[in-house]
Amino acid sequence: MRILIAIDKFKGSIPATVAAQAIATALKQTLPDATCDLCPIADGGEGTAEAVVTALNGEWCETATFDAQNRPVTARHGLVRARGRLEAIMEMSAASGLAMVSDLPLNPATASTHGTGLMLQDAISRSVQRIVIGIGGSATNDAGIGMAAALGFRFMDASGAPLEPIIANMDRLAWIEQPDSALPEILVACDVNNPLLGPHGCTQIYGRQKGVSDFEFFENRLQHLVDIAKRDLGVDHRDVPGAGAAGGLGFGLMTFCGAKLTSGFDLIADLVHLRERITAADLVITGEGRLDAQTLHGKGPMGVADMARELGKPVAAFAGAIEAEDQLRTRFDLLCAIKPKEMPLAEAMQRGPELLAAAVLAQSPAIRDLLTGPMDRAQ
């Protein structure tokens, strides 16, 4: 029997490669005849650049930039040769990630993607023909205006004075000036399909985890920005799936850079030949740190599950915590939260690999049932 372990990271606890190995080691104890195919994945969030650069045998370079609260940091991005051209592979979280400002009080009104723009500018200075950027894990809700400013865009008030490019100032935006310089092709690896505005937009769905409490404050400023961009730049991407990714950075990259959005999961899946590996498997195991309603909006484990079900393969998922279980059970054959209810979160995150392996061992009877049950799951 062949088991494919296509698992994402458990953020802050277990890297995807370590999670895959922990599951494989546990499976060998109860299913010694099983062949485990380890396939760490990413979906546009943290870990995407590492997965791509590793798959394409690239190299890393570093650039001086700023975090989302304007503190100096050094961020790395990859350079790869693909199809005869030089490409940059990067993650916005390397400069503008939420984890980087976890030591500060969250201030989404001033949090900026400026540092991500400086990373883009560094890649452009290296004469790359294409930039692939994963945009998950952001600390920002600025629709990419900080990024755009780093690339030469200016946001002006009614008196003709430039505004500091933070979302708090966008109620005073009168027009947008764009630079003359051309940009290379930019492909955005996106891990969600939310629009920019409204009940399913970036502010309502993801804002709270970044410190947003006054939702109307952000929604009104984003709405005004979109209207001015439509008038001055001639584009309107507010309703494009993925525009709301990374606090609207998906919108910003399309609007200011002419970028194209693609599923981060699809990008990685193609590079690692995921469909072929699922086809060869008898069971697929996936998961990440948390499975909840957001998982249904295009996260990596959901992509794995959908592909597995399409190919008629049973799929099990392990996560640190699971919410919206009734919704998720329609898409997964087995769900298991690895954190004991009574254990403090900090302790559970520290003991992640141990808890993951223990959960796999505890679920071994259910895993055997999936391996021997009917294979009629194709939809």
Domain assignment of residue 69, yes or no: yes
> Mean pLDDT over residues 343-364, rounded?
96
Note whether 33 and 55 are same-domain residues.
Answer: no
Kindly indicate the confidence band of residue 240, based on its pLDDT and cuts at 50, 70 and 90: very high
Distance, CA of 248 to CA of 229 (rounded, Å): 14
Q: Can you give the pLDDT at residue 192?
A: 83
Domain assignment of residue 379, yes or no: no
pLDDT digits (tens, 9 = 90+) for 325-347: 999 999 999 999 999 999 999 99
**Is the predicted pLDDT of residue 302 greater than 80, yes or no?**
yes
> Mean pLDDT over residues 150-157, rounded?
98
What residue type is 356 in one-letter code?
L
Q: Can you give the pLDDT at residue 263?
A: 82
Chain-centre distance of CA 367, in angstroms? 29
Note whether 171 and 81 are same-domain residues.
Answer: yes
Domain assignment of residue 378, yes or no: no
Distance, CA of 353 to CA of 198 (rounded, Å): 38
Residues 6+ apart with CB under 8 A from 135: 44, 91, 92, 188, 189, 190, 191, 245, 246, 249, 250, 253
End residue of a domain, out of 224, 248, 265 = 265
Q: Can you give the pLDDT at residue 374?
A: 60
Domain assignment of residue 121, yes or no: yes
- DSSP H helical ranges for the chain: 16-30, 48-55, 93-96, 114-125, 145-150, 202-206, 215-233, 245-257, 264-271, 274-279, 300-310, 325-328, 345-350, 352-362, 364-372
> Mean pLDDT over residues 176-197, rounded?
92
What residue type is 94 in one-letter code?
A
Kindly indicate the confidence band of residue 133, based on its pLDDT and cuts at 50, 70 and 90: very high
Note whether 72 and 112 are same-domain residues.
Answer: yes
Check if the beta carbon of residue 63 is closer than 8 Å to that of residue 119.
Answer: yes
Q: Strand 154-156 and strand 175-177: pairing?
A: antiparallel
Domain assignment of residue 68, yes or no: yes
Instruction: Answer positive or negative: Cα dihedral of 7, 289, 16, 75.
Output: positive
Instruction: Indicate yes or no: pTM above 0.85.
Output: no
pLDDT digits (tens, 9 = 90+) for 102-124: 999 999 999 999 999 999 999 99
Note whether 181 and 283 are same-domain residues.
Answer: no
- Cα dist from 346 to 12, 338, 339, 350, whole Å: 10, 14, 11, 6
Note whether 308 and 175 are same-domain residues.
Answer: no
Q: Which residue has the higher pLDDT, 212 or 190?
A: 212
As to burial, measured by CB atoms within 10 angstroms (0-12 exposed, 13-18 middle, 19+ buried), residue 228 is middle
Note whether 138 and 202 are same-domain residues.
Answer: yes
Note whether 150 and 197 are same-domain residues.
Answer: yes
Q: Can you give the pLDDT at residue 272?
A: 83
Q: Which residue has the higher pLDDT, 370 or 271?
A: 370
Q: How far apart are the first and last CA of the chain?
A: 23
Note whether 122 and 243 are same-domain residues.
Answer: yes
Kindly indicate the confidence band of residue 278, based on its pLDDT and cuts at 50, 70 and 90: very high
Note whether 301 and 185 are same-domain residues.
Answer: no
Q: Total structural domains in the chain? A: 2
Whose CA is closest to 379, among 307, 294, 310, 314? 310
> Mean pLDDT over residues 274-298, rounded?
92
End residue of a domain, out of 218, 233, 265 = 265
Q: Can you give the pLDDT at residue 378?
A: 44
The rounded percent of the chain whose pLDDT value lies above 90 is 82
Residue 360 domain boundaries: 2-41+273-372
> Mean pLDDT over residues 312-319, rounded?
97
Kindly indicate the confidence band of residue 43, based on its pLDDT and cuts at 50, 70 and 90: confident
Domain assignment of residue 377, yes or no: no
> Mean pLDDT over residues 112-140, rounded?
96
What residue type is 75 in one-letter code?
A
Kindly indicate the confidence band of residue 351, based on its pLDDT and cuts at 50, 70 and 90: very high
**Is the predicted pLDDT of residue 379 greater than 70, yes or no?**
no
Strand partners, 25: none
Please report, for the domain that includes residue 37, its CATH number.
Answer: 3.40.50.10350
Domain assignment of residue 64, yes or no: yes
Note whether 246 and 129 are same-domain residues.
Answer: yes
Domain assignment of residue 237, yes or no: yes
Please report, for the domain that includes residue 209, its CATH number.
Answer: 3.90.1510.10
Note whether 315 and 241 are same-domain residues.
Answer: no
Note whether 241 and 364 are same-domain residues.
Answer: no
The rounded percent of the chain whose pLDDT value lies above 70 is 98
End residue of a domain, out of 265, 282, 309 = 265
